[in-house]
Amino acid sequence: MTMEYDLVPAGLARAVEELPLVDHHVHGATAHDLSRTAFEELITESGRPVPGWMTQFDSQLGHAILRHCAPVLGLDPFCTPEEYLARRARLGAAEVNRLLLGSAGLAHLLVETGYRAEELLGPSGMAEAAGAPADEVVRLESVAEQVAAAGCAADAFAGRFADALEERTRTARGLKSVAAYRCGLDFDPAPPSPAEVADAAGRWFAAGGGRLSDPVLVRHLIWTGLERGLPLQLHIGYGDTDVDLRRADPLLLRGLIELAEPTGVPLMLLHCYPYQRHAGFLAQAYPNVFFDVGLGVNHTGARSVALVAESLEVAPFAKLLYSSDAFGPAELHHLGAVLWRRAMARVLGGFVADGEWSAGQAVRVATMVGAENARRVYGLG
């Protein structure tokens, strides 16, 4: 393994290695032990059972776990999946979480709590395991679904949702919309009228509530979120089987971005794979657009260097952030940081080795993307 950093100047490699990261979009780590089946289902975005003729360890993410997480659990890199899972089971979830999260080098976590939260550590549990402060990002659709579940007249929905959002976000640092999953990003970007909202809420309640997917309501949630004024995270691109990737292209958000521009609310485009160049264009064109390449970094493993490189093209460096989008196994929280550091060191180190950037510029940009931009946007001090 002596070749791996040959082209990266030592000072840059060390600076990126030691940089305390702000993970601006992450979910909780699983609080309980995981069977092999459960573990494999959590290291893929596929919502389907893993077919008997394959294993999810035969993937970039699987290889990255055996390479980078095995040593953290005291094993040799490139051990077998069986050895890895046996060690993981012997250590237990709490110790695994402490080992993997504790060594990720995190300075601050913004934890999105709106999806399967009952299985996961909440912000305080995450803070304890990571040894770093953790604040909350609130998912708009979850708040609305709770309002519906509590019972509400259709024409009272808008008011109740606004009140619930205010209450739920008193100490939150950001909001999140999963419009991409619920109706695709090709929705009418204008705020719906109160009558349209009441009508749509009526239809939703009449159908029994549950999963909110009516585009009118999805838009209403976004516009209520924009009024609330916290940075608004939007799921973009790659995700689980639920997403129609064609309708998750960030370029579809152009209308919303322009309408939202006067509010001054930062729009945080999450993940973006394979549309990272589209996101970079929007981040150059519009002052209110920011983005990251989380999730994709973990799932592309050894190829994450290409993804990170493509994120460093036309966007100003003040507009790009770090996230892991880890959900479930703490391996994902650990790898998000490890793979991002290695990819940034290689990409920026390559610019320096090519004579295109100075080492000082490289360290400065790594620090902006890894921490400073998030501190500024979310006011983390």
Q: Find out whether 81 and 331 touch, Cβ atoms under 8 Å.
A: no
Return the number of the residue (111 or 347) whose C-beta is nearest a copy of itself.
Answer: 347
Query: How many other C-beta atoms can be found within 10 angstroms of the C-beta atom of residue 330?
Result: 27
Return the number of the residue (160 or 247) whose C-beta is nearest a copy of itself.
Answer: 247
Return the number of the residue (144 or 180) whose C-beta is nearest a copy of itself.
Answer: 180
Return the number of the residue (108 or 342) whose C-beta is nearest a copy of itself.
Answer: 342
Return the number of the residue (117 or 306) whose C-beta is nearest a copy of itself.
Answer: 306
Q: Terminus-to-terminus CA distance in the chain, angstroms? A: 38
CB of 2 to a copy of itself, least distance (A): 9
CB of 181 to a copy of itself, least distance (A): 13
Please, where are the H alpha helices in the chain? 10-18, 36-42, 60-64, 70-72, 81-91, 93-102, 123-130, 140-149, 157-168, 179-182, 194-206, 215-228, 254-260, 276-285, 296-300, 304-311, 330-353, 359-367, 373-378
Identity at 183, one-letter amino acid code: C
How far is residue 111's CA from residue 135's CA, in Å, rounded to a whole number? 6
Non-local CB neighbours of 81 within 8 Å, separated by 6+ positions: 36, 55, 57, 62, 66
Return the number of the residue (198 or 363) whose C-beta is nearest a copy of itself.
Answer: 363
CB of 303 to a copy of itself, least distance (A): 5
CB of 306 to a copy of itself, least distance (A): 7
CB of 330 to a copy of itself, least distance (A): 20
CB of 14 to a copy of itself, least distance (A): 17
3 state SS for 42-102: HCCCCCCCCCCCCCCCCCHHHHHHHHHHHHHCCCCCCCCHHHHHHHHHHHCHHHHHHHHHH
Give strand pairing partners of 109: 23, 134
CB of 298 to a copy of itself, least distance (A): 10
Return the number of the residue (115 or 317) whose C-beta is nearest a copy of itself.
Answer: 317
